[in-house]
Chain A
Amino acid sequence: MKKEAISSLVARRLFLRRLGRAATVAGAVAAAGAAGLVQKVAAKSEPAAGRASFPTPDYDWTKHRWGFGVDATKCIGCLRCVEACKRENDVPLTAHHFNTWVERYVYLEGEDKPRIDSQADPVNIAASGSEREYRFANRYQDAKVEKAFFVPKLCNQCTHPPCVQVCPVGATYKAEDGVVLIDPKYCIGCRYCVQACPYGARWFNEAKGVTQKCYWCYHRITKGLQPACVEACPVGARIFGDLNDKQSPVSLFIRNNRVQVLKPETGNAPNVYYVGIDKAVS
């Protein structure tokens, strides 16, 4: 009787020990899995896409880290960048689809808030005569302007892109050189990424059924050329280059200026660096 009791006690202990071990192993596996999962879904840890998916020959995207600078103090609002971009990237010639655009901020005397418009504003379209022509109307000529400036905008190719995070099929992804790309053959056209971008950089191509945006003229930069808007800018307000190269125009621009980015509070870590913008710019 006693022996039986002891042996059952031993068996129970053994069982509990085994159970404990199993639980520890299961716990460790679960913890590791959970940690991995948290890492994976957090916006901060968006992994760069794997290698060798871009067809440009002789281009190694691990060798570059592209960056973009905007010197708003130089921009004259001529909008040649917008025109160059539309032509280069086959962007629909409407007032509602832009890879890049220019904003105008005008503080009138006695007003605390700026009046803001872009080339897409109906008044500016009326002045140019067409949605296909870009011009800022001289709409404040009779007002007393206290301060005014232009701000070029484009995709920020964020380090932690929320658009990439939300894409249900992974059609948009971050290349290892920092540019956020979209695979138009894989995009399902749900437009979740359009909603997720806080900068309004993405737009939907209704004819093609896919989302598009600025990709810093990836087809050009991978061949050693500058983005079309940078090349077209007559005053050097747009600066582009490789952040890995300490002597590149963009590296020098960042080093020699006190730069800022748009909406840093989102945690997206954007990669377009601005000089000469104002608190009202977002």
Chain B
Amino acid sequence: MDPLIHYAPYTGWVYPNETVIEWSVAIVVYPYLTGLVAGAFTVSSLYQVFGFQRLKPVAHLALLTSLCFMVFVPLPLLLHLGHPERAFNALLTPHWTSAMAMFGFFATLYIVLLIVETWFSFRPFIVEQAQKRDGMLRPFYRVLTLGSYDLSEEALRCDRKWIFWLAIAGIPGAHGLHGYVGFVFGSLKAREWWSSDLMPLVFLFSAIISGVALLIVLYVLSCKLRRIPIDLACLKGLAYTVWAFIMVALVMEGLEFANIIYKAREGVETIIEYVTGPLLVPYFVLQFGIGAIAPLLLLSYMVWRGTTGKALIAGVTLSALLVLFSVWMMRWNVVIGGQEISKTGKGLLAYQLQVFGKEGLIAAILLVVAPLVMLLGVTRLFPPWEHEATPSPVSSG
């Protein structure tokens, strides 16, 4: 049988109780999923609220992506809890001084908002299907119409108004949700690696780039699967968004790191030993080098050279994949990294990733893949490409 506890090997001096690393890969998955939710929502808002017309082909896909990932956000937390059956206590009897107690409220509110906005966005389609379809799905769509078949211009105008305001409410909702995740870590004074005022911002900007990057990959993939031409203007719009936010994310993360090293408080020697030792590859090479700086340079090059056509698609998709990887590494380096530096400031631990078990590697991969599978199903029921603009094969900008 798999042992119940996995002890972390260590060097130097660590407190005896620290040898069990309590927040596992499940807690890495959690902010990763939340970040993708917030980032995908950003894309939908850029279209719905800020009128970025070129993002229209992905606006509905962004909304569905956000919804599908949000459904799975609580799962890694539930898998992690010692008593998941008591999880609702955080909602029923919240302890108001706890950042974590707010999660239930933020998450519930946000899921409701997403569902309502998605419903409004797909209402014309639902009504149409309820009238057109035969067989099993007819009652499904009929129920979803909630009894309203009104597709008059006035009704649609009302829908658009709702979508607009829900999208506006969703911006602080999505970003508040993710900023709060950063606060969960940043507000703890016990760990130097976490205790930073910049942590919520670092989480927020990495969330945005991860969500936009995910949409790039999903959009390209969906066009390939559906054998339709990719709207290069839309792809470029997404690439610009990643390009702009990746710089902010890099500056934030760089500042945070610089603060720790420059302030050089007690235990900084151990942190330096850590970042130049075990964290050298995951942090500097994978997260910053390959994951963030490489796509930034690649995107900059393509913007500079005016790359278009297949090269643009390949370059942007590759950059997006690298960004998705970088943000995963960032979550890992924060959650696991913070716990690998001992609270004594005099020792380092090494997290042992398990393969099996509810907090193992397989569970983590399933948690990241599950929303994509759900998205596949949901796009069958609610095709997000129904209302898209005619794809323009030539780049418009």
Q: Do A and B come from one complex?
A: yes
Chain A interface (Cβ < 8 Å from any Cβ of B): 40-41, 43, 46, 94-98, 101, 116-120, 153, 162, 164-171, 186-192, 194-211, 266-267, 282
Collect the chain B residues with CB atoms within 8 Å of residue A169's CB. 86, 89-90, 93-95, 98, 101
What string of 1s and 0s marks CB contacts (under 8 Å) between B82-94 and chain A?
A: 1110110110011
A96 to B184, CA, bound (A): 25
B17→A188 contact, CB < 8 A:
no
Q: Which of A118, A168, A170, A196 has the most CB of B within 10 A?
A: A168
B81 at the interface (CB under 8 A from A): yes
Collect the chain A residues with CB atoms within 8 Å of residue B188's CB. 162, 166, 195-196
B87→A117 contact, CB < 8 A:
no
Assuming the A-B contacts A167-B95, A196-B190, are A208 and B82 also in contact, with contact meaning beta carbons closer than 8 angstroms in the complex? yes
B5 at the interface (CB under 8 A from A): yes
- Interface-located stretch among B19-27, B125-133, B173-181, B272-280: B19-27
- Interface-located stretch among B112-120, B196-204, B343-351, B380-388: B343-351
Assuming the A-B contacts A41-B96, A282-B344, are A162 and B17 also in contact, with contact meaning beta carbons closer than 8 angstroms in the complex? no
Smallest CB–CB gap between B106 and chain A, Å?
12
Q: Which of A40, A117, A118, A195 has the most CB of B within 10 A?
A: A195
Q: Which of B83, B189, B345 contacts A282 (CB 8 A)?
A: B345
A204 to B21, CA, bound (A): 10
Collect the chain A residues with CB atoms within 8 Å of residue B98's CB. 165-169, 192
Instruction: Tell me whether chain A's interface is mostly helix, strand or loop, or mixed.
Output: loop
A190→B100 contact, CB < 8 A:
yes
Assuming the A-B contacts A118-B16, A188-B83, are A40 and B190 also in contact, with contact meaning beta carbons closer than 8 angstroms in the complex? no
Collect the chain A residues with CB atoms within 8 Å of residue B89's CB. 169, 171, 186, 188
Q: Which of B23, B80, B93, B190 contacts A198 (CB 8 A)?
A: B190
What string of 1s and 0s marks CB contacts (under 8 Å) between B331-358 and chain A?
A: 0000000010001111000000000000
Collect the chain A residues with CB atoms within 8 Å of residue B103's CB. 168
B266→A192 contact, CB < 8 A:
no
A231 to B337, CA, bound (A): 40
B100→A96 contact, CB < 8 A:
no
* Interface pairs A-B: 3 shortest CB-CB: A189-B82, A200-B15, A209-B82
Collect the chain B residues with CB atoms within 8 Å of residue A186's CB. 86, 89
A117 to B16, CA, bound (A): 9
B7 at the interface (CB under 8 A from A): yes
Assuming the A-B contacts A162-B189, A168-B101, A206-B4, are A200 and B18 also in contact, with contact meaning beta carbons closer than 8 angstroms in the complex? yes
B82→A195 contact, CB < 8 A:
no
Task: Write the chain A residue with the least CB distance to B17.
Answer: A203
Collect the chain B residues with CB atoms within 8 Å of residue A194's CB. 17, 22
Given contact pairs A97-B20, A189-B82, A200-B344, a sample of 9 additional A-B residue pairs in the complex whose CB atoms are under 8 Å apart: A40-B96, A95-B16, A162-B188, A188-B81, A190-B100, A195-B190, A199-B15, A206-B4, A206-B82
A282 to B343, CA, bound (A): 9
Q: Which of A46, A94, A119, A200 contacts B343 (CB 8 A)?
A: A200
Smallest CB–CB gap between B22 and chain A, Å?
4
Task: Write the chain B residue with the least CB distance to A117.
Answer: B13
A188→B90 contact, CB < 8 A:
yes
A96→B86 contact, CB < 8 A:
no
B160 at the interface (CB under 8 A from A): no
A247 to B160, CA, bound (A): 75
B191 at the interface (CB under 8 A from A): yes
A195 to B93, CA, bound (A): 22
B94→A162 contact, CB < 8 A:
no
Collect the chain B residues with CB atoms within 8 Å of residue A165's CB. 97-98
A116 to B345, CA, bound (A): 12
Assuming the A-B contacts A116-B346, A191-B22, A198-B343, are A170 and B95 also in contact, with contact meaning beta carbons closer than 8 angstroms in the complex? yes
Collect the chain A residues with CB atoms within 8 Å of residue B285's CB. none
B99 at the interface (CB under 8 A from A): yes
Task: Write the chain B residue with the least CB distance to A41.
Answer: B97
Smallest CB–CB gap between A50 and chain B, Å?
13
Assuming the A-B contacts A192-B98, A266-B189, are A201 and B17 also in contact, with contact meaning beta carbons closer than 8 angstroms in the complex? yes
A165 to B4, CA, bound (A): 29
A191 to B23, CA, bound (A): 8
Task: Write the chain B residue with the least CB distance to A169.
Answer: B89
Q: Can you report 29 A-B residue pairs in the complex whose CB atoms are below 8 A from each other?
A: A98-B16, A118-B16, A166-B99, A168-B100, A168-B103, A169-B86, A169-B89, A169-B95, A169-B98, A187-B82, A187-B83, A188-B84, A189-B82, A190-B81, A192-B184, A194-B17, A195-B22, A195-B190, A195-B339, A196-B188, A197-B190, A200-B16, A203-B17, A203-B20, A204-B82, A208-B82, A266-B190, A282-B266, A282-B345
What string of 1s and 0s marks CB contacts (under 8 Å) between B345-380 and chain A?
A: 110000000000000000000000000000000000
Smallest CB–CB gap between B89 and chain A, Å?
4
A199 to B80, CA, bound (A): 23
A164 to B22, CA, bound (A): 18
A98 to B16, CA, bound (A): 7
A202→B83 contact, CB < 8 A:
no
Smallest CB–CB gap between A156 and chain B, Å?
12
